[in-house]
Amino acid sequence: MIESDSVHNKEITFTKHWSFYLINKRIFDIVISLVALLLSSPVYLVVWIINKFSKSNRGPLLYKQVRMGQYGRKFGMYKFRSMVVGAEEKLKNNEELYKRYVENNYKLKPNEDPRITRFGRFLRKSSIDEIPQFINILKGDMSLVGPRPVIEEELKEYDSYKLLSVKPGAMGLWQAVGRSQIGYPERANIEMRYIDKASVLLDLKIIFGNFVNIFKGDGAY
């Protein structure tokens, strides 16, 4: 009986700590995304001007791709458009290109991807294309830190129930340790490790690691 009460008390303590962590994480997400969107507003203007007047990159400012969110809810993840208009259809209509895309962990290197524009290569290399994801964070689709949101086809690489139990993040442990240099199944193992050990301290370490990789340009494509 005493042992049972002890286990119950530990479960209650864990639940309280986890709830406190999630509440504070959401507050942090809202504050940071608001500040980031305000500070990055000149970037939106510059990218819009380039899109408006560049013949090779002309098209919408933002690109929205369907990703898997918490509890399996799908959402449109925002990025600055780095590809030609209709890139998704061009990928799926090209069997050879799509095969390479799947074999390369659902990515294509910029020099192998005919859909990416010249300006888009710069956006990806600098990770500027990721800035609009602060809109998703503010909306609650994503968190600043969490496993990277995946497309539906990628779920087979994961324990999907576990992956979808948390909000996906703009910055993840996978990105902090190597980004696109690390493929499946190691990528999935890294993301699962984050879910098991999520904490304020780990989140701060991931944010720092992501900024280091962004500055160095490691694994960005």
Measured in degrees and rounded to the nearest 5, phi and psi for residue 194 equal -65, -45
171 contacts: CB under 8 Å, gap ≥ 6: 144, 145, 146, 206, 207, 210
Predicted confidence pLDDT, tens digits, the chain (221 residues): 555 555 445 566 657 788 999 999 999 999 999 999 999 999 999 999 998 887 777 788 999 999 999 999 999 999 999 888 888 888 888 888 888 888 888 888 777 788 888 899 899 888 999 999 999 999 999 999 999 999 999 999 999 999 999 999 999 999 888 777 788 999 999 999 999 999 999 999 999 999 888 887 665 55
**How many residues would you count in the chain?**
221
The residue type at 67: R
State pTM to two decimals.
Answer: 0.86
Helix 200-216 vs helix 2-39: angle between axes, to the nearest 10 degrees? 30
Question: Which amino acid appears at position 121 of this protein?
Answer: R
Distance CA 178, CA 69 (A): 23
